[in-house]
């Protein structure tokens, strides 16, 4: 089969790799019909390279048709149309039963003291072959795959794999009170979907902050108040503008949908650059023990949120000992919630919004649909935010 394969920093190639096979009785094989390109994939494209191995198959946002099932599978049949969550969970351990599928005790990667295994996402999360491919082996297919009806386009359901549950969990964790306000930092796919979900759930004031004109315009068209970072010379000016929109005290909650690769943070940018010139064995140790994240977005969230407010972190961070302003966090009595989305936990809430109508606008959410052969150019385009690329979907 053909797949998008990692070979080094900014080096993704589409190559022939062996077809996956049933390895365990609870496996299934999926013929992938659509697979998203995620902002998290860009971390692998460059920053998380020390944890990658040449030949790793990328991708973690798939849907498709069941091609084969293991002997223990009774919930799926060949020909079923399914969406596959990006985290691999068993469904019966303690963590799964309490709705923390991203911490599944069956698939935790103990070698690296990490949570549940993920498709296509570094040795830290199991080095499981990913979904930007023509075929995908799905472990624990007796629990993970979500059956969806025939008829609507793939885009109606594809984002159940990651974007929708991640954004939904972010809004849930933000815990905005009735009549309250929410600021979303970063209007990429996750941030914009978080805005859409927040408005759908009745949050009265949603403010999105970004610096890419296409993203700002797209969110504005959905009813989001937007602020362009380029309009503010200093952080204090941005803080003042947000406070003037939120009764002088700041928003009730802030979602950080940016993560480790925020603009700014020159010292951490230098740390990122250092890992690029170090042997992977040393760079891996540095990232596991040092503060290497660019924290501009998280620092902004801490400044912006009102006293007693909540920060919900959706953007990925990869450093181990990043410096945090604990005095400010304590003084402002800020609550922080974060973590990988527990996909299956939110499916029952989200799926009804996709079947009969499209209130979240998922049908038109992707800006680019491309054949898998275009993956190398798509990664470069997405990283550079060129050609209006906000969400890319591969159709293998």
CATH number at residue 71: 3.90.180.10
Summary mean pLDDT of the chain? 91
Query: What is the tens place of the pLDDT at every residue in 352-376?
Result: 999 988 999 999 999 999 999 999 9
Q: What is the spatial distance between Cα 120 and Cα 124, in angstroms, rounded to a whole number?
A: 11
Q: Which residue has better confidence, 5 or 123?
A: 5
Q: What is the spatial distance between Cα 318 and Cα 40, in angstroms, rounded to a whole number?
A: 11
Q: Say what the pLDDT of residue 317 is.
A: 78
Task: Quote the domain boundaries for residue 31.
Answer: 2-162+342-394
Q: Cβ-count burial of 286 within 10 angstroms (0-12 exposed, 13-18 middle, 19+ buried)?
A: middle
Q: What is the spatial distance between Cα 16 and Cα 13, in angstroms, rounded to a whole number?
A: 10
Place 275 in a pLDDT band, splitting at 50, 70 and 90: very low
Same domain, 251 and 293: yes
Does the pLDDT value for residue 260 go beyond 90? no
Q: What is the spatial distance between Cα 21 and Cα 332, in angstroms, rounded to a whole number?
A: 53
Largest Cα separation within the chain, whole Å, is 62
Q: Are 91 and 143 in contact (CB under 8 A)?
A: yes
Same domain, 301 and 348: no
CATH number at residue 172: 3.40.50.720
Does the pLDDT value for residue 268 go beyond 50? no
| Buried/exposed code over 5-28 (b: 16+ C-beta within 10 A; e: otherwise) | bbeeeeebebeebeebebeeebbb
Same domain, 146 and 233: no
Q: What is the spatial distance between Cα 83 and Cα 335, in angstroms, rounded to a whole number?
A: 33
Q: Which residue has better confidence, 250 or 272?
A: 250
Q: Are 187 and 219 in contact (CB under 8 A)?
A: yes
Q: What is the spatial distance between Cα 207 and Cα 254, in angstroms, rounded to a whole number?
A: 9
Same domain, 328 and 181: yes
Same domain, 227 and 173: yes
Does the pLDDT value for residue 5 go beyond 60? yes
Place 319 in a pLDDT band, splitting at 50, 70 and 90: low
Same domain, 176 and 238: yes
Specify the pTM.
0.91
Residue 146 host element (H or E)? strand 146-147
| Average pLDDT value for residue range 272-283 | 48
| Average pLDDT value for residue range 156-166 | 98
Q: Say what the pLDDT of residue 163 is.
A: 97
Q: What is the spatial distance between Cα 347 and Cα 322, in angstroms, rounded to a whole number?
A: 33
**Adjacent-strand bridge partners of 43:** none
Count of the separate structural domains present in the chain: 2
Does the pLDDT value for residue 252 go beyond 70? yes
Distances 296 to 166, 193, 235, 254, 259 between C-alpha atoms, Å: 21, 21, 10, 14, 9
Q: Say what the pLDDT of residue 265 is.
A: 46
Query: What is the tens place of the pLDDT at every residue in 28-51?
Result: 999 999 999 998 888 888 777 888
| Average pLDDT value for residue range 94-115 | 96
Place 269 in a pLDDT band, splitting at 50, 70 and 90: very low
Does the pLDDT value for residue 195 go beyond 80? yes
Provide DSSP, 219-254. Answer: HHHTT-EEEEGGG-SSHHHHHHHHHHHTTTT--SEE
Same domain, 251 and 359: no
Residue with tokens 């860009």: 42
| Average pLDDT value for residue range 143-158 | 96
| Neighbour tally for 293: CB within 10 Å | 27
Place 102 in a pLDDT band, splitting at 50, 70 and 90: very high
Q: Are 334 and 360 in contact (CB under 8 A)?
A: no
Same domain, 217 and 79: no
Does the pLDDT value for residue 90 go beyond 60? yes
Nearest to 283 by CA among 52, 112, 13: 52
Same domain, 334 and 206: yes
Q: What is the spatial distance between Cα 224 and Cα 34, in angstroms, rounded to a whole number?
A: 29
Same domain, 250 and 198: yes
Does the pLDDT value for residue 278 go beyond 80? no
Q: Say what the pLDDT of residue 259 is.
A: 79
Q: Say what the pLDDT of residue 297 is.
A: 87
Same domain, 15 and 36: yes
Q: What is the spatial distance between Cα 253 and Cα 308, in angstroms, rounded to a whole number?
A: 9
Does the pLDDT value for residue 290 go beyond 60? no
Does the pLDDT value for residue 263 go beyond 70? no
Lowest-confidence pick of 187-191, 259-263, 300-304: 259-263
Same domain, 307 and 219: yes
Q: Cβ-count burial of 321 within 10 angstroms (0-12 exposed, 13-18 middle, 19+ buried)?
A: exposed
Does the pLDDT value for residue 199 go beyond 80? yes
Q: Say what the pLDDT of residue 51 is.
A: 84
| Average pLDDT value for residue range 105-133 | 94
């Amino acid at each position: 089969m053909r797949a998008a394969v990692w070979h080094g920093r900014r080096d993704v190639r589409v190559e022939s790799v062996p077809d996956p096979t049933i390895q365990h009785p609870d496996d299934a094989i999926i013929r992938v019909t659509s697979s998203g390109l995620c902002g998290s994939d860009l971390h692998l494209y460059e920053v998380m390279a020390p944890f990658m191995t040449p030949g790793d198959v990328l991708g973690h946002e798939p849907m498709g048709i069941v091609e084969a099932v293991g002997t223990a599978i009774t919930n799926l049949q060949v020909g079923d149309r399914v969406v596959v969550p990006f985290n691999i969970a068993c469904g019966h351990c303690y963590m799964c039963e309490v709705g923390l599928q991203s911490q599944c005790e069956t698939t935790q990667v103990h070698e690296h003291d990490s949570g549940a295994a993920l498709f296509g996402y570094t040795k830290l999360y199991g080095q499981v072959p990913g979904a930007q491919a023509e075929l995908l082996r799905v472990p624990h297919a007796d629990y993970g795959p979500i059956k969806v009806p025939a008829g609507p386009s793939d885009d109606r359901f594809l984002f159940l794999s990651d974007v929708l549950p991640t954004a939904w969990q972010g809004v849930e964790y933000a815990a905005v009170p009735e009549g309250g306000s929410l600021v979303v930092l970063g209007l990429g796919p996750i941030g914009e979907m978080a805005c859409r979900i927040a408005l759908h759930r009745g949050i009265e004031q949603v403010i999105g902050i970004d610096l890419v004109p296409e993203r700002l315009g797209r969110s504005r068209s959905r009813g989001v108040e937007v602020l362009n970072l380029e309009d503010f010379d200093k952080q204090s000016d941005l803080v003042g503008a947000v406070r003037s929109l939120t009764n002088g005290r700041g928003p009730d909650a802030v979602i950080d949908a940016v993560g480790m690769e925020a603009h700014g943070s020159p010292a951490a940018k230098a740390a990122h650059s250092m890992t690029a010139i170090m042997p992977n064995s040393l760079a891996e140790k540095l990232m596991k023990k040092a503060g290497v994240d660019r924290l501009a977005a998280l620092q902004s969230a801490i400044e912006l949120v009102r006293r007693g407010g909540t920060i919900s972190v959706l953007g990925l961070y990869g450093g181990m000992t990043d410096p945090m302003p604990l005095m400010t966090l304590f003084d402002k009595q800020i609550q922080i919630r974060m973590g990988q989305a527990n996909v299956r936990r939110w499916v029952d809430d989200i799926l009804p919004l996709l079947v009969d109508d499209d209130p979240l606008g998922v049908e038109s959410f992707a800006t680019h649909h491309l054949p898998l052969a275009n993956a190398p150019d798509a990664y470069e385009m997405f990283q550079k935010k060129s050609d209006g690329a906000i969400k890319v979907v591969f159709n293998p």
